[in-house]
Chains A and B, each alone.
Chain A
């Protein structure tokens, strides 16, 4: 259901993509491990299409960019990767949080996306 919703968001969102010429997405690899994301700070230019490649070194984690529709599950260690595309069309600092309980330090498992 959520997947359908997100794909339809994609279809709706396509024509509104801000860059006039198609741009190769910027691949950013993020690894999750209790209780941190590495890297914990990601800086991109406004308008960049980001392709997040998300993997875990232990259990499953969540990858939620607060204030956006992005909320993905990162599969457990050696169970593949999650790929999330996101067009950073709004400038600002965004908090990324782990949205799946992963243990004793879960609440502080955060990273920052800076769109300049």
Chain B
């Protein structure tokens, strides 16, 4: 057996049995039209991993959002974003159990700030696919060969009592916190990779009725389907995602929640999101530092299709144009800037413009 390293020194990862520490952080300065300028340590995340053996691995992610958690009023939150154990059995079939990231879309599983353009995660990955979306569950993953790989999980469903017109299903996430698992869900992702290209289809499907037990309606069912792709060639990069969220029984859900609270939440039966992004490294090839400019168009309509008897709130049928740039003094450190203009279908209410600055890093 012969082994030779030419370009860089050999690398050994810590000592056997010693946990590893890594993480990412992002701090933002946001200005939204008609709102005060805000400076925010948006996310501070530590990742702790441990290799029990070549077959058993542990990974976790501990997050503080918005820097301070007081427990009163508007403040940050502390959360476990991931904490799972992998049991490696076979290339095609391995087991995972614990708190896992829902494998829908691009950003939910790839959150490290240098991996996406724009200061904030995309609008689609905020109000249509609610990132960070995670829950406690079990599942399998593996490499199927010819560039295909998959992940499939069994998870608790959502709480439909938390759905809203503006933020869709985000408020229904249980986040692995004493999650009611009486309505189960399945989620999966099939990914194809070849040099430069990653394309995937993903879904989440499950019941979401346990929070409504006394309301005497049929369990609303939620299905989320998504297609996404990333392509890189030389200094150029393309990225796109399409996602639809269908809420079965949205009409009954609105009527039942109205009886309970007095107001109809006007939850749609379909939410639709899509974006396309082009990015180009504009700095000269000889520079080690990189400057990347990008432009993205997003559609994020949380009132795309309404149940019979309900009208869409047109102000929430939104789209946005986002342009900006990222300066990478190191591939793991990103200074970001972007400006966005939101539009909507309403005649009277104009979408805001936003100006964002941020710095994010991974270590």
- Interface positions of A (Cβ within 8 A of B): 2-3, 5-7, 9-10, 13-14, 17, 31, 34, 36, 38-41, 49, 57-59, 62, 64, 66, 68-73, 75-87, 89-90, 93, 95, 97, 99-108, 110-112
Given contacts A34-B112, A41-B145, A110-B143, contact A6 B3 (CB under 8 A): yes
Given contacts A99-B13, A101-B22, contact A90 B114 (CB under 8 A): no
Chain B hits for A103, CB < 8 A: 22, 24, 47, 110-112, 115, 362
Inter-chain contact A40/B5, CB cutoff 8 Å:
no
Chain A hits for B91, CB < 8 A: 93, 95, 110, 112
Question: Which 9 interchain pairs have the tightest Cβ spacing?
Answer: A73-B11, A2-B10, A13-B2, A107-B57, A85-B4, A83-B6, A76-B331, A101-B22, A99-B13
Question: Number of contacts between A and B (CB, 8 Å)?
Answer: 160
Q: What are 25 of the A-B contact pairs (CB < 8 Å)?
A: A2-B11, A5-B10, A6-B5, A9-B2, A13-B3, A38-B195, A40-B193, A41-B143, A59-B332, A62-B11, A71-B12, A72-B8, A80-B8, A84-B4, A99-B12, A101-B47, A102-B22, A104-B47, A104-B81, A104-B101, A104-B110, A106-B49, A107-B86, A110-B88, A111-B143
Tell me the bound Cα distance from A70 to B191 in angstroms.
28
Chain A hits for B8, CB < 8 A: 72-73, 75, 80, 82
- Nearest Cβ in chain B — how far from A63, in angstroms? 9
Given contacts A106-B49, A108-B86, A112-B91, contact A69 B3 (CB under 8 A): yes
Tell me the bound Cα distance from A106 to B57 in angstroms.
10
Inter-chain contact A71/B11, CB cutoff 8 Å:
yes
